[in-house]
Amino acid sequence: MRRAVSLLAKGAVVLGLWAAMAVQAVEVRFERVAEGVYAFIGEMGARTAANEGLNANLGLVVTPAGAVLIDSGATFEGARQIHDAVRRVTAQPVRWVINTGGQDHRWLGNGYFRSQGAELIAHAAGEADLRNRGHDQLQALRGVLGPKADGTVPTLPSRWIRGRDERLELGGVAFELKHGGGAHTPGDMLVWLPAQRVLFSGDVVYVDRMLGVLPVSHTGHWLETFAVIEALDPGVIVPGHGSVTNLATARADTQAYLRALRDHMKKAVADMTDIGAAIKGFDAAPFMRLLNAADLHPGNASRTYLELERE
């Protein structure tokens, strides 16, 4: 009898935990950063069922002719929640969605917004990356999110930006879309609002937490793209991850780390230093203040070494 009661109690606890998880949902809330310009600041940790894979920042620009969403979230259902948050800011429909890069939370919500009639925009340099990794990204998300990923279908943009610098007039508002050759992903694209001097950097800028160098990343192009940001001298930067920031903090948390890593690994490759020794020899102490640094730095270092070997 005592064992039966114990099992029932354990079962009740498990059911309670599942019920709690079922009602948990990420709260999407856009905060004003300039007139008509808003940002959602996502969690800085890993993708979880609670944050529904939306551990990244999003942007919203309200124009007289409709809303422009910058990045669509990680899932169909997550995109629906993003849309609800947009409606709390404006009655304007979402007419355009700009994908700033190839990570799941930048574009896997596209299918929902296409169903709402939005035009999807991204840089053509990222098309192969989206095609190659989209289904793998979704499979990984299903492992984390379970049923919360249901209904999500990798949906490619319908409009591809092909130049390094293209100006669009969306709803009467000027947007400058800038591609510096790729960064975190090949299609990483800056969204610059010249009138407001606000930059949505996508995953070119990380603050407060360490950036991630992926197998598809290119740290050399990343620094070239960062140089484009420096030339713009934005008043406000909405980074891909971390709090709304300025150029000085972006330099300290993103550019300084990439420069130090590349300089160290370039010398290590030239000196024919073993990759393990090269990783151990890098002084990461100045960057250990960044969230996730201990977990991400070893992989960043090894991939940068391999990149420099190929150059």
43-100 residue pLDDT tens: 999 999 999 999 999 999 999 999 999 999 999 999 999 999 999 999 999 999 999 9
Strand (E) or helix (H) holding 270: helix 256-270
Q: How many CB atoms lie within 10 A of CB 84?
A: 10
Ordered by start, the domain boundaries in the chain are: 23-246
Predicted confidence band of residue 26 (pLDDT cuts 50, 70, 90): confident
The number of CA neighbours under 13 Å toward the Cβ of 250 is 28
Q: What is the mean pLDDT of residues 199-222?
A: 98
For the cut 90, the answer to whether the pLDDT of residue 137 exceeds it is yes
Helices within 95-153 (DSSP H only): 104-107, 110-115, 127-145
For the cut 60, the answer to whether the pLDDT of residue 4 exceeds it is no
The number of CA neighbours under 13 Å toward the Cβ of 150 is 3
CA distance 119 to 156: 11
> What is the model's pTM?
0.91
Sign of CA dihedral 200, 102, 241, 217: negative
What percent of the chain stands above pLDDT 70? 92
For the cut 50, the answer to whether the pLDDT of residue 9 exceeds it is no
Predicted local distance difference test score (pLDDT) of residue 25: 66
Q: Which CATH class is domain 23-246?
A: alpha beta
